[in-house]
A = this chain, B = another copy of it.
Amino acid sequence: MEEPYPSKDIIEEAARRIVPFVHRTPIMTSSSINAITGLQLFLKCENFQKVGAFKYRGATNAVLTLSEAEKKNGVATHSSGNHAQALALAARNNGIKAYIVMPENSTAVKMEAVRGYGAEVITCVPTQKAREDTLAEVVKRTGATFIHPYNNYRIIAGQATAAKELIEEVKDLDIVMAPVGGGGLLSGTALSTHYFAPSATVIAGEPANADDAYRSLQKGEMQEAVPPNTIADGLLTSLGDKTFAIIQKHVKEIVTVTEEEIIAAMRLVWERMKIIIEPSSAVPVAAAIKIKEHLKGKRIGIIISGGNVDLTNLPFKKHI
C-alpha cells in the first residue's frame, strides 16, 4: 500500500507509537564550545539512541506500522550501516523476521552485530546492482516488506521525532540543523520544524565531497552523485525523490564543509563535551561554525545523528 505523506498528525502518531521502544535522548550544551564559537548550540544526542543512531526511530516506526499480514512475512533491506542494525533490532523487539542484504566486503564486526540482533544476513557482491537484485530475490522468496533506509514516509516520520523532541524541550529555537545523506533525517527534521516550530529555519550540513543534495537544491532538480569520498560514512547515499521533495520545500540552505572542518568539529565535541559522535554528526556542527557570523545571537538546535565509530581508526592528529 502507498504510504501517506507525513502530515503533522502522522508525525505525532509516530512519536506516540515509538515511545515505549526508543530512548528519549538528552539535549546537551557546552559553555566552552559556545564560548569558543560564539554560538548558542543545543545538541540533540541521538548518539545515545539504541544501536547508537537516530535510525532506530524510523526503523521502529516502520515495523510498528506494518499490517498484521505484513508482519508475518517480516522486513528486508540492504544496508551495511546503521539502518541494518536498527531494522534488525526493531524487528526482533517486535517478534518479526528481518532479512538484511549486506555487501560481502562488510566488516565481520558489522555482520556479527546484525546477526546478533537476530536478523538473517544475505551477502552479495559489493555493487549497487547486486544489492538491489539480491534484495529483490529475498523479497520474492520471503514476501518480506522492503523498508528503504530513507526514501520511505514511515521512515521519515520516525526520524522526524528527534527534532520534535528537541523543539518541545528547547523553546524559541531560531535554527534547526541536521546532516544530509539520503535525506531521511533531514526531511523528517524539516517537517517537524515546519509543524512544531514554524518560525525556525532549517539549515543542513553536507560534506563537500558528497554534495549531491547541495547541488540538487541549487539546480532545483535531483543531481547525479559523483562517487563520494568522505569520512562521514553515514552520508555517502544520495537523495531519493520523496526526501528531495520535502527538502526542497522546507530546507532553507545546505552548507558544505571540508573533511578538515568535519574532523575539527568532531574533535571539538569529543574534547570539550566528552561524548562520542560519528563524523556524520560533526557535519552540521562544522556547518554552524562555518557560517557563525550569520548565526550570532541565534538559538541553534543540532541533531547529532549517531556515535558509531571505529575506535581503532580515528582521524585525530597530534597538536603541534
Contacts and interface: CB of A to CB of B under 8 A. Distances in A.
A312 B314 CA distance: 8
A298 B52 CA distance: 27
A83 interface: no
B274 A307 contact: yes
- Say how many copies of this protein the assembly contains: 2
A79 to B, nearest CB: 20
A63 B270 CA distance: 29
Interface string A25-68: 01000000000000000000001100010000000000000000
B276 A319 contact: no
A19 B316 CA distance: 35
Nearest to A267: B311
A311 B275 contact: no
Contacts of A314: 311, 314
Interface in A302-320: 307, 311-312, 314, 316-319
A273 B274 CA distance: 11
A293 interface: no
Contact of A275 (B276, B312, B319): B276
A140 B214 CA distance: 64
A41 B188 CA distance: 34
A226 interface: no
A312 B318 contact: yes
A89 to B, nearest CB: 11
Contacts of A318: 312
Interface string A251-289: 000000000000000010011011111000000000000
Given A314-B314, A316-B311, A319-B109, A47 B271 contact: no
Contacts of A275: 274-276
A120 B48 CA distance: 39
Nearest to A45: B274
B307 A312 contact: no
A274 B52 contact: yes
A119 B311 CA distance: 35
Nearest to A272: B52
Contact of A270 (B48, B273, B311, B317): B311
Contacts of A276: 270, 274-276
Nearest to A23: B31
Contacts of A319: 109, 312
The winner among A267, A273, A311 for most chain B CB atoms within 10 A is A311
Interface string A97-117: 000000000000100000000
5 contacts: A47-B274, A274-B276, A274-B307, A276-B276, A312-B317
